[in-house]
Structure 1
Amino acid sequence: MADPAAPSDAELDVLKCFWRDGALSAREVQDRIRDRLDWSPSTTRTVLERMRAKGLLSRREVHGVVVYASAQPKVAVIGGLMKRLSDLLDLDGPLPAAAFSGSQILDAEDIAALEAVLAADEATSDGEGA
Structure 2
Amino acid sequence: MAIPSISELTLLKALWRQQPLSAREIHEQVEEELGWSYSSTRKTLERMLDKGSVRQRTLHGVQVYEAALEKVGTLAAFARDFSKRVMEMDAPLPANMFTGSKLVDEDELAQLEQLLNDWPTGEDGAK
- Bin of the TM-score, shorter chain as denominator length: 0.7 to 0.9
Partners in 1 of 2:114 and 2:95 — Cα distance?
Answer: 9
TM-aligned CA deviation for residue 113 of structure 1? 0.6
In structure 1, the partner of 2:51 is 54
Partners in 2 of 1:31 and 1:47 — Cα distance?
Answer: 14
Partners in 2 of 1:129 and 1:103 — Cα distance?
Answer: 30
Q: Across the two proteins, how many residue pairs are aligned to each other?
A: 126
**Alignment-mate amino acid for residue 94 of structure 1:** P
Identity %: 40
CA RMSD, 1 decimal:
2.2
**Alignment-mate amino acid for residue 82 of structure 2:** L
**Secondary structure of 1:43's match?**
helix
Asked if structure 2 preserves the Cα contact closer than 8 Å seen for 1:101 and 1:107, the reply is no
Q: 1:90 aligns with which of 50, 66, 88?
A: 88
**Secondary structure of 2:57's match?**
strand
Q: Unaligned stretches of 5+ in structure 1? A: none
In structure 2, the partner of 1:72 is 69
1:51-99 superposed Cα distances (whole Å, 9 cap, x missing partner): 1112211111111111101101111111111111222233242101221
TM-aligned CA deviation for residue 21 of structure 1? 1.4
Q: Unaligned stretches of 5+ in structure 2? A: none
- Structure 1 length normalisation: TM-score? 0.85
Partners in 2 of 1:55 and 1:49 — Cα distance?
Answer: 10
1:19-30 matches, cutoff 5 A: 19-30=16-27
